[in-house]
Amino acid sequence: MPQTEARKILKDAPIMWRRINSIGIILDCNSTYASKLGYAKTEILGRTIFEHVPKDAWEAMNDSLKTWFETGNVTDREITFKKQDGSTFPGILHAVSLYDEKKNLLGSNTVIFDLTELNDKKIKEFEDYFKEAKEKLDEIKKSEYNNLDENSKSEYEGLKKMFDMLVTTDLRSLKK
């Protein structure tokens, strides 16, 4: 997928981010997602989201997908994730739907927080990043949004919706 200016905000972001299609196939992810799971990005793209959770977490992931289909988003969903080496970590998943210009569902933007790393310093890093990302998106809206093609506008709208959700998420309440 081509990198829009909006998508570049996610490239080396501190959050684990992935985009899936409407049937749970990973279309894109950032370097944080890939490295946290211990894969090269090329090993992730085109794979199902179920490959990154242990078998005993498939039901939770399936419930998350069901909620997403029914409501268009998922927040504060605790799911265990599996790294390539077989080790696992508890994560909190947030997802928002991504639509095309005709409002057809394309997939979702999903962010995962590793609960083992969710301390005050990391939360501050996330909050600063969310604020900075929203500012960059606001600048894109002002300076180039009207010149974007429909796919880029859809990309922008999906990321804007995701960051609007993340800015309002109380990460401190998620800490274990």
Per residue of the chain (176 residues), give pLDDT as tens.
456 788 888 987 999 999 999 889 999 999 999 999 999 999 999 999 999 999 999 999 999 999 998 898 999 999 999 999 999 999 999 999 988 878 888 899 999 999 999 999 999 999 999 999 999 999 999 998 888 888 888 889 999 999 999 999 998 888 75
- Find the distance separating the first CA and the last CA of the chain, reported in whole Å: 36
Place of tokens 């997602």: 33
71 CB-near residues (< 8 Å, 6+ apart): none
1 CB-near residues (< 8 Å, 6+ apart): 7, 27, 28
71 and 56 Cβ atoms separated by less than 8 Å: no
The per-residue pLDDT for 17 is: 96
Determine the structural domain holding residue 19 and report its residue range. 5-174
**Structural tokens at position 73:** 């988003």
The per-residue pLDDT for 59 is: 95
Q: Give me the residues paired with residue 109 across strands.
A: 19, 96
Pick from 91, 93, 106: which is nearest to 151 by CA?
106
CATH code for the domain in which residue 150 is found: 3.30.450.20
Work out how many domains the chain is built from and give that number.
1
